[in-house]
A = this chain, B = another copy of it.
Amino acid sequence: MNEVANNAAKSGVWGVDRPIGVAVLGMGTVGAEVVRILRDHAEDLRNRVGAPVVLRGVSVRNLDKDRGLPAELLTTDSESLVARADVDIVIELMGGIEPARGLIKAALDAGKSVVTANKALLAVYTGELAASAENNRADLYFEAAVAGAIPVVRPLIQSLSGDRVNKVVGIVNGTTNFILSAMAETGADYHDVLAEATRLGYAEADPTADVEGYDAAAKAAILASVAFHTRVTSADVYREGISKITSEDLETAAAVGCTVKLLAICERVTEGPEEGGKESISVRVYPALIPRKHPLAAVNEAYNAVVVEAENAGRLMFYGQGAGGAPTASAVMGDLVMAARNKFYGGRAPGESVYAELPIASIGETPTRYHVNLQVADRAGVLEAVAGEFAKHGVSISTVRQEGHDDVGARLVVVTHHAQESALADTVAALAELDSVTSVTSVLRLEGTEE
């Protein structure tokens, strides 16, 4: 044991006679792995922390289920478990808002550190929980809340703390990435692939949180908060899911050298110097085309990846398993070791940093590029009429391609430069009214191009 550890041990607070006690709330897929690691790797944990780390109890909903644990470790009374005097760190893996929120708050208010993977909770209540942590000199760690095993919260909070992050773009939901990858690969329909994903356990019985982008939006709020030193909540995140993506969308994407991914985008928007360089941030989740050569295009199946662009670091990418029991448990355990070391050595996790207080730009103020598919009559003057509508609404066209024409007409694919959402919506409405336009087949955003 080194000198500092000796001093701490001598002070009688932590050491062999007073191990660091851990409570685990919830024993689902992740909780079971955390409990396994705590028990199987006790010796490594002791060496890495400096003091023994001991599991004091696990709260579960059903005591009758066999979990391979001594009965005295199991309880349904989370509140009493959190309150135990020999519990120093609480690992919250129940998910959902209540009772998780109350239990975490109780732990922090009692000066106990908390490790959580609860993105839905953090995306709304980080401010309140971080204040409890701050006021009681406790730590609140949450690496596991975003992108499973992939270290991305800690790199943003610590490694990039001396840089200026301009953009974070991630594939942070494994279920939707599995679905989109399968659709791209097999040409199958959204509903068939979703059914298959449910059968394989990649999608939950009620897949709404994943497929409608709520899960990704919560993670985007967390990423934006730490990247931009600004409090961002779920309500600040513009959100569209993938349930309207068709196999035709993926075909079209492939035809133009792209693929479709559900992206979580956190972006610093700096207006020109003529407006005084006013800064805001845009946080949004939607399916978008990205060029196949973009690093995120190769992220398939249930994998996650996050690309961070910072002023000095340039473009970084973090890739790995974004979900699952063991990968998420790895992130939880890393946080646990750090929280335990802080107890032992007297350090502190970086608290919430929201000093920048940047305003959130609405989706209407956030220009993106669009990829518009039109079914048109195959006759002279159509292109002119279509181009005219774009021009009339101030939407600048980057490229137009006309594809295969048959009895019913031709297909026009228009790719725009950056345009405001409202201007694009007006353009699309006007296009639909044109005689020469049979239908607006699809409108998808295009991301990850240099332009």
With A330-B160, A346-B346 as contacts: A318 and B321 at CB distance below 8 Å:
no
Give the complex CA separation of A440 and B175 in angstroms. Answer: 50
A333 contact from B312, B320, B336, B342, Cβ within 8 A: B312
The residues in A between 282 and 336 inclusive whose CB is less than 8 angstroms from any CB of B are 295, 298, 310-321, 326-327, 329-336
CB of B312 within 8 A of CB of A134, answer no
Give the complex CA separation of A312 and B321 in angstroms. Answer: 10
With A163-B330, A334-B159 as contacts: A149 and B313 at CB distance below 8 Å:
yes
Closest residue of chain B to A44 (Cβ to Cβ) is B164
Stretch at the interface among A347-355, A368-376, A388-396, A406-414: A347-355
Contacting residues, chain B, for A338 (C-beta < 8 A)? 158, 161, 350
With A4-B348, A134-B3 as contacts: A312 and B37 at CB distance below 8 Å:
yes
Give the complex CA separation of A329 and B311 in angstroms. Answer: 11
CB of A327 within 8 A of CB of B313, answer yes
A316 contact from B45, B149, B161, Cβ within 8 A: B149
Give the complex CA separation of A163 and B330 in angstroms. Answer: 6
Whole-angstrom distance between the Cβ of A111 and the nearest chain B Cβ: 13
| Supplied contacts A159-B334, A312-B326, A313-B320, 14 more A-B pairs, CB within 8 Å | A2-B134, A45-B162, A48-B161, A48-B162, A149-B314, A154-B158, A161-B333, A163-B334, A298-B298, A312-B329, A317-B318, A341-B350, A346-B346, A347-B348
CB of A37 within 8 A of CB of B137, answer no
Give the complex CA separation of A14 and B318 in angstroms. Answer: 35
Contacting residues, chain B, for A143 (C-beta < 8 A)? 159
Contacting residues, chain B, for A160 (C-beta < 8 A)? 151, 330, 334
Q: List 30 A-B contacts (CB under 8 A).
A: A2-B351, A3-B134, A4-B134, A4-B137, A41-B162, A47-B355, A47-B356, A143-B159, A154-B154, A154-B159, A158-B334, A158-B338, A159-B334, A162-B336, A163-B330, A163-B333, A163-B334, A311-B330, A312-B326, A312-B329, A314-B326, A314-B327, A315-B321, A316-B320, A317-B317, A318-B318, A318-B319, A345-B347, A345-B348, A347-B348
